[in-house]
Amino acid sequence: MTITADYVIVGAGSAGCAMAYRLSEDGQHSVLVIEHGGTDMGPFIQMPAALSYPMNMPMYDWGYQSEPEPHLGGRKLAAPRGKVIGGSSSINGMVFVRGHARDFDHWDESGAQGWSYADVLPYFKRMETWHGGASEFRGTDGPLHVTRGPRKNPLFHAFVNAGEQAGYEVTDDYNGEQQEGFGPMEQTVYKGRRWSAANAYLRPALKRKNCNLVNGLAQKVIVENGRAVGVQIERNGRIETIRANREVILAASSFNTPKLLMLSGIGPAAHLREHGIDVVADRAGVGQNLQDHLELYMQVASLQPITLYKHWNIFSKAVIGAQWLFTKTGLGASNQFESAAFIRSDKGVDYPDIQYHFLPMAVRYDGKAAAEGHGFQAHTGPMRSTSRGSVTLKSSDPKDAPKILFNYMSTEQDWADFRNCIRLTREIFSQDAFKPYAGKEIQPGAAMQTDEELNEFISEHVESAYHPCGTCKMGAIDDPMAVVDPECRVIGVDGLRVADSSIFPRVTNGNLNGPSIMVGEKASDHILGKKMLPKSNLQPWLHPDFESTQR
């Protein structure tokens, strides 16, 4: 059985949904999206405060784990990816960060020409409707609604005030002109619901006659005479072929996109032969260059019973759930990450390289363990680790998970950076703004002071922030490690593109949902052969004294 469409997109995630919307927009082309996961309509996904549930549900998550990490005592770290309509935008923390302007300038300088901040800002603006007032840096009529939490808890303000008291900048919009500083955090929540890529882009697209969704497991890209002509999928136990009249586009995540390329014969030749796969295109970079953000939770006991811990019981959760179900308001309507910060770790660093998420509760991200009693925490970690990992095949069976090795903390600099994060955070929590609230340090605990003690804590407690990227790097055609060119075309195969977080040359500051959607938006114009949106001439703010001062 063969189904045909002009454009076949593999993966209904952040970038895939955006492309489904844009490629079907003018009604001239048929678009078909392949997604292995099912519906996203359950309350665990749609209710923002329930965010810790879907990423731990096999129904919604691919359930991947890293290999034993050699520099973290052999720990295997969770590596969730959304297996559901909306992909990881349906199971993530809903934090919206564009990345810093310099991140995209770095992409452009490293071979991804046409992806500088001036090039991508118009796409960030096109994709969003920002609910924070007028700003020339922000979008007003895009499909993705970006809002802020109510910040009713006084701890949200204590965090920003403490940052200011410690001598850092305050910013009213880290996604606007100035990322550096302390201020409100933004979320993809609209009218009390998770505003995933599925809600923003895919649902409107599927209402069009020329856009359809097929539920199945993509097994490989079919390449004939050097051109991608379709995708082989398994659906209801049967193997089917979906033909692409124009192009096949992979948007299956930083784990599944390189896996699919390799299953299709595109990747490091020796590795493919190991698994008995015929080589279609020898691309050494497929699956390499894996990057992520690691983070620690710095937890402090609260002297006042004002944290979310008072709702950490079955009765309170039921009340919050019921209020959300009937009115889409209350605590259930926010991800609870309502204050944030981006700071520089040292003088001489030209733009922020440490991020903070602040939460008025001391709890693990997976929701499994709350610290005893009232507390609050800051998630913190370095933004630009030099450690690089890889995604490789376990076997040639499409049903097997890929082999994921992040190679976290593989450089001395990584350890120094994390120790610095801990010490800078302690200083922030010791400011006067926290005097009415801050009790003892729960984690790491005040006794942990020496480099050796902090290293031990880091090794045991560091967790992924779930920002994997880079495994199909975009770069210049003559770069042997580049997988796609600056128009997202796979080098060495016609009719095939990749557009998701796997093409990032280097990880961006903050959470990756925003930049992933931007990639889908910009890639759509490349695919359709449109003129790019005119470059922006807006200039981002950089600290004028960054060379001589850390803050």
Mark the binding-site residues for FAD, compressed into ranges: 6-35
Q: How far apart are CA 154 and CA 510, in angstroms?
A: 24
- Best CA proximity match to 194, nearest among 341, 90, 63, 54: 90
Strands 438-443 and 403-405: unpaired
SS (H, E, C) 210-243: CEEEEECEEEEEEEECCEEEEEEEEECCEEEEEE
Q: Which amino acid is at 469?
A: C
Q: What residues are paired with 299 via a beta bridge?
A: 377, 443
Q: What residues are paired with 403 via a beta bridge?
A: 392
SS (H, E, C) 71-88: HHCCECCECCCECECCHH
- Burial class of 373 by CB neighbour count within 10 A (0 to 12, 13 to 18, 19+): middle
- Burial class of 493 by CB neighbour count within 10 A (0 to 12, 13 to 18, 19+): buried
H/E segment holding residue 164 = helix 154-165
Reduced to 3 states (helix: H, G, I; strand: E, B; else coil), residue 490 is strand
Please answer whether residues 446 and 438 qualify as being in contact, where contact means their C-beta atoms are separated by less than 8 angstroms.
Answer: no
Q: How far apart are CA 308 and CA 375, in angstroms?
A: 8
H/E segment holding residue 193 = strand 193-194
Strands 2-10 and 31-35: parallel
Instruction: Cite the active site residues.
Output: 467
Residue 206, both tokens? 């599927």
Directed axis angle between helix 14-23 and helix 513-527, to 10°? Answer: 30
Q: How far apart are CA 514 and CA 354, in angstroms?
A: 18
Q: How far is CA 394 from the centre of its chain?
A: 25
Q: How far apart are CA 343 and CA 381, in angstroms?
A: 11
Distances (CA, A) of 435 to 238, 371, 373: 64, 20, 18
- Best CA proximity match to 495, nearest among 225, 256, 216: 225
Distances (CA, A) of 209 to 28, 204, 213, 214, 527: 11, 11, 11, 14, 20
What value, to the nearest 5°, has the Cα angle with vertex 414 and ends 464 and 81?
Answer: 20
Q: How far apart are CA 334 and CA 319, in angstroms?
A: 15
Residue 123, both tokens? 């796409």
Q: How far apart are CA 197 and CA 538, in angstroms?
A: 27
